[in-house]
């Protein structure tokens, strides 16, 4: 077994299948099912989200869901601020190293 495969995170096939089944029914979902998809797209395992978004059988529904829930799926001001702060600190660190 290669070193990279030892470190890879296992996909959660049950949760992935559940998300796919929810999206196949979109827009015929109740509010808690919509929230479940939003939560998955924002915080789910990266590999699972990648597999979900690359699934061509639900691409139209996923695109419609993303368009309809753009606000909930976008970065909050707090998240945007943290990212901007990290970038500024990295630039400042690089500039200070460059001058040394």
**pTM (2 decimals)?**
0.69
Q: What is the mean pLDDT of residues 9-30?
A: 89
pLDDT (average), residues 75-100? 90
- Dihedral over Cα of 21, 24, 25, 27: its sign: positive
pLDDT in tens, 28-42: 999 999 999 999 999
Mean pLDDT of the chain: 88
pLDDT bin (cut points 50, 70, 90) of residue 10 is: low
> Could you give the CA distance from residue 23 to residue 43 in angstroms, rounded to a whole number?
17
Q: Which of 36, 41, 37, 31 has the alpha carbon at shortest distance from 74? A: 41
């Amino acid at each position: 077994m290669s070193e990279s495969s030892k470190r890879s995170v296992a996909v959660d096939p049950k949760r992935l299948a559940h998300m796919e089944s929810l999206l196949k029914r979109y827009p015929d979902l109740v509010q808690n099912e919509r929230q479940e998809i939003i939560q998955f797209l924002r915080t789910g395992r990266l590999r699972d989200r990648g597999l979900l978004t690359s699934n061509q059988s639900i691409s139209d529904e996923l695109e419609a869901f993303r368009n309809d829930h753009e606000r909930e799926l976008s970065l909050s001001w707090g998240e945007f601020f943290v990212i901007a702060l990290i970038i500024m600190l990295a630039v400042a660190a690089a500039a200070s190293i460059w001058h040394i």
